[in-house]
Amino acid sequence: YDARVNRLAAIVVALATAIVIVTVVILPFLTPQWIGFEQSRAQAEAWTGYTTEQLRAATDAIVGDLVFGGDFAVTIDGQAVLEPRERSHMVDVRSVFRGLWILATISVVVLVVAARRADRAATWRAVRGGAIGLAIGTVVVGVVGLLAFDQLFETFHEIFFPAGSFLFDPRTDKLVQLFPFDFWQETALVVGAAII
C-alpha cells in the first residue's frame, strides 16, 4: 500500500513540476517585447496593413484582454480589428489559459506540500523525473513539429477548441494576420527550447 501511495505521490509531483515549468516558460512570450519582435519577423504589418503604432495598439489590447479579461473589441480608426468569430475564438483561448493558470496554482501548492515531506530525496527524484519527462516529451513534439508543424498546430487546436472555431483565412481575418503562421512556428520552437 505504501509503495502505491509513494508511486502516486511521485507521479503527482512529476506532473506538477512539468506544469509549473511550462507555465513559467510561457510567461515571457506574452510580453509586448517578444510579440513585437516576432510579429516583425513574421511581417504582421504587411499582412494587416497597419502601421507599427496601430499594430502595437491592436496587439497590446488583444493580449491585455487575454491575460486580464476583456471583450477583444479593440478598434483601429473606428473599425473593429476582430470579427465576432475571431473574438469568440479569443474567449476560448482565454479559457485555455485560465485552465493552465489554475493547474499551475494547484501544482505550486502540490510542490510546496511535497517539499515539506520527510523523504525529500523522493520528492527531488519526482521533480527530476517530471523535468526529464517534460524535456523528452518536448523533444518528441519538437521533432514532430519540425516535420509537420501544420498538422501539429491543427491537432492542438482540435483538442482544445470547438471544431471549426479556429479556422481563419489569412487573406481576410485580422487574427491570423496579427499572428501569422511564421509567428507561431518560431515561437513554438523557442518555447520548446526554453522548456528543455
Q: What is the mean pLDDT of residues 105-132?
A: 95
The pLDDT value recorded for residue 118 is 85
Whether the per-residue pLDDT at 1 is higher than 80: the answer is no
pTM of the model: 0.88
CB pairs under 8 A, 24+ apart, for 124-132?
A: 125/10, 126/9, 126/10, 126/11, 126/13, 126/14, 126/17, 127/13, 127/14, 127/17, 129/10, 129/14, 129/17, 130/13, 130/14, 130/15, 130/16, 130/17, 130/18, 130/21, 131/17, 131/18, 131/21
Q: Does pLDDT of 150 surpass 90?
A: no
